[in-house]
Structure 1
């Protein structure tokens, strides 16, 4: 949920009879940050597969803050404390993270929805790749799966060594470097309030 289309744009896209997406050859891969309710009706009816990746909100808000500061179009120059307060109060663009993630979690058992957690990639990338292959109906033997995992690890290493890319945003437990004790207590209170009725859980450090 770090970037994406505004819901109003998504509604126009969903209803448009001449969507440019229809001009793309199949199979198509489309990245979106739209809430579940704004996805095309065909996806709700199971006519396309949806892979949803959720990240623990403490790391996400730090990455989101850095993302806002890095783009000229957003040009955010406030403090992280203020940004975090806006995140907790659902006052940032593109809607509430808490509603967004819970809405997809409610559809995790749908046959065309695969709900993944960002932190699981760090714990066991191989298992996650296997899940993706099964979900997409791709037949892979052990050697092919191992090769894909190795390619992913090589890509991560290249990014880590690139001066143009900041991999600190991708680290699990990043929030510990910037959250104060007071901020963490307030965040935990808001998290319990907004997620208390959900059985969705996250790893905040590994």
Structure 2
């Protein structure tokens, strides 16, 4: 398939060339946001698909038909990817847009609009485990070699899409500059109903009881895992080797404990403390 082996470098970040070109990335940094746009921003494997599904249900008033018939990459397309312009629903009252770009790249451009930004973060220990398995699945990402090697690259910020630490801290720094809300994967897992209520208030959506009920049913992990419009099984095996596992693998909190050795955990804790000790992140995850 086209550009599967290509790595595109942009703003010092390595990105899969199968999904990004220099032109698509430059376009992303100059995109004319509307004040009514809703932008989902995440580091990879942090709950992006989950948030795409939740917003689909919120804006459809609980009608699951769009989520069951339209792929999520068309409902909330990726700003920096090649197919963004052909997928964007330009006539939608509230355009849903997704991005993995760091704040230093995208933040300045967003600051010129009143677009609402939803930032989703996840325990980085679970992120690195999920990301490792995704590298084994996705043929447009480098071979992770081993979990130990991948963990080291992750801690050094030498994986595709760059440093998790830079990404989270950069977007936390946008608190006073953007109309932004911060959600964690762990909050979604623990209290989907309450988080949906927070989101609807942030977005100015009246959340009817039937909408909330439909959202809870459709946005459970089991429902999303079995929904071809969300689970990426529509992607051909030449691009995602589905024999290596599922895109939506477990959807649990704390799976890192079954992957980390004691030395790996000690190393991660040390780097995490060095990087995050002075941040204002109100984490909803356990590092032990």
With the shorter chain as reference, the TM-score category is: 0.7 to 0.9
Q: Which residue of the partner structure matches residue 134 of structure 1? A: 201
Aligned residues: 201
Moved more, 53-62 or 87-96: 87-96
1:87–1:194 Cα change, 3 Å: same
Indicate the RMSD between aligned Cα atoms, in angstroms: 3.1
CA distance in 2, matches of 1:199, 1:16: 29
Contact kept in structure 2, 1:48 and 1:112, CA below 8 Å: yes
Matched ranges for 1:91-102 at <5 A: 91-102=158-169
Alignment pair present for 1:196 and 2:261? no
Alignment pair present for 1:73 and 2:140? yes
Q: Which of 21, 24, 30 is equivalent to 1:15? A: 30
Alignment pair present for 1:179 and 2:245? no
Q: Which of 87, 90, 93 is equivalent to 2:154? A: 87
Q: Alpha-carbon deviations, 1:89-144, whole Å to 9, x = none?
A: 11112221101101111224556211110000111111100011111111123343
CA distance in 1, matches of 2:217, 2:111: 34
Moved more, 140-149 or 161-170: 161-170
Q: Which of 175, 185, 191 is equivalent to 1:118? A: 185
CA distance in 2, matches of 1:151, 1:76: 33
Q: Which residue of the partner structure matches residue 59 of structure 1? A: 126
SS for the counterpart of 1:139 is coil
Task: Structure 1 unaligned segments of length 5 or more: list them.
Answer: none
Q: Normalising to structure 1: TM-score of the pair?
A: 0.83
CA distance in 1, matches of 2:223, 2:201: 28
CA distance in 1, matches of 2:247, 2:107: 34
Task: Structure 2 unaligned segments of length 5 or more: list them.
Answer: 1-14, 33-83, 234-245
Contact kept in structure 2, 1:172 and 1:204, CA below 8 Å: no
Q: Normalising to structure 2: TM-score of the pair?
A: 0.61
Contact kept in structure 1, 2:269 and 2:287, CA below 8 Å: no
Matched ranges for 1:27-66 at <5 A: 27-39=94-106, 41=108, 43-66=110-133
SS for the counterpart of 1:30 is strand
Higher normalized helix content (fraction of residues): 1
SS for the counterpart of 1:182 is helix
1:91–1:115 Cα change, 3 Å: same
Higher normalized strand content (fraction of residues): 2
